[in-house]
Amino acid sequence: MLERLVVAHGDGALKFFGDYANLSDINAFRAFLKPLHRTDWVVYAKRPFAGPEQVLSYLARYTHRVAIGNSRLVMFDGAQVSFKWKDYRSNGLARRKVMTLGAGEFIRRFLLHVLPDGFHRIRHYGLFANSARKANVDLAKRLLSAPPPPEPKEPVSSNEIACPCCGGRMLLIERFERRTQPSSWAALEIDSS
C-alpha cells in the first residue's frame, strides 16, 4: 500500500492542503511515510455501490445536521467556496466574517465532521449532560455532604441589606439614580501632582 502511495504521489494523483501542503515534496512525503513501514496494513476498499452521485447525495444530507448549514454558504464559483463563520476573539459586528477556501480544502474540513455510522455527535456528556445535569449535581452534592447554600439573612436595620449571592451583610452607603454619579464622588478630590 505504501509503495502505491509513493507511485500515486509521483503521478500527481495526490493533493495536499492546509497543514499537509508540505507533503507535495516527495522527500517530505517519504519521511512522513517512513514510520508507517513498521505497520502491517490490511486494506479493504471498494467503489461505492451507486457511484459518486450517490456518495455526493449522502454527504449533502449532512449540511442540514452537522458541520455547516446552507444558510452559512455564501458562494461557490467552481473552484472556491465562501461561507460565514464566527470569530469568537472579536466582538460586535466584527465577530461575523466570511472565509473563502479552495473546494478541496473546504471538502477536507467538512469531512472531518462526518462521523462513522453508529456514532453520535454530542456537546455535553457525563455529569453535565443536559438531560440529567440537575439530578447529577444534586446527587454529587449529597454524596460529598456539601452543606446547602446559606439562606439570605433578614436586614437588621434600614441601612443593612442581605447580599443576594452569599447572604452576607451589606451596608447601604448611598442610593443614586441611574446614569448619574454618586454625590459622594463629588466630594473626592483627585491629586494630579
Q: What stretches of 92-155 show up as alpha helix (H) in DSSP?
A: 103-111, 133-143
Contact 142, 148 (CB under 8 A): no
Res 191 pLDDT > 60: no
Res 63 pLDDT > 70: no
Strands 73-76, 80-86: parallel, antiparallel or unpaired by DSSP?
A: antiparallel
Which amino acid is residue 1, in one-letter code? Answer: M
Res 65 pLDDT > 70: no
Strands 96-102, 80-86: parallel, antiparallel or unpaired by DSSP?
A: antiparallel
- State the average pLDDT over residues 66-75: 80
Strands 169-171, 80-86: parallel, antiparallel or unpaired by DSSP?
A: unpaired
99-123, pLDDT tens digit by residue? 999 998 998 888 887 777 776 665 5
Bridge partners for 60 per DSSP: none
CA–CA separation, 24 and 31 (whole Å): 12
Q: Residue 21 phi/psi, 5° resolution?
A: -60, -30
Question: pTM of the entire structure?
Answer: 0.32
Res 159 pLDDT > 80: no
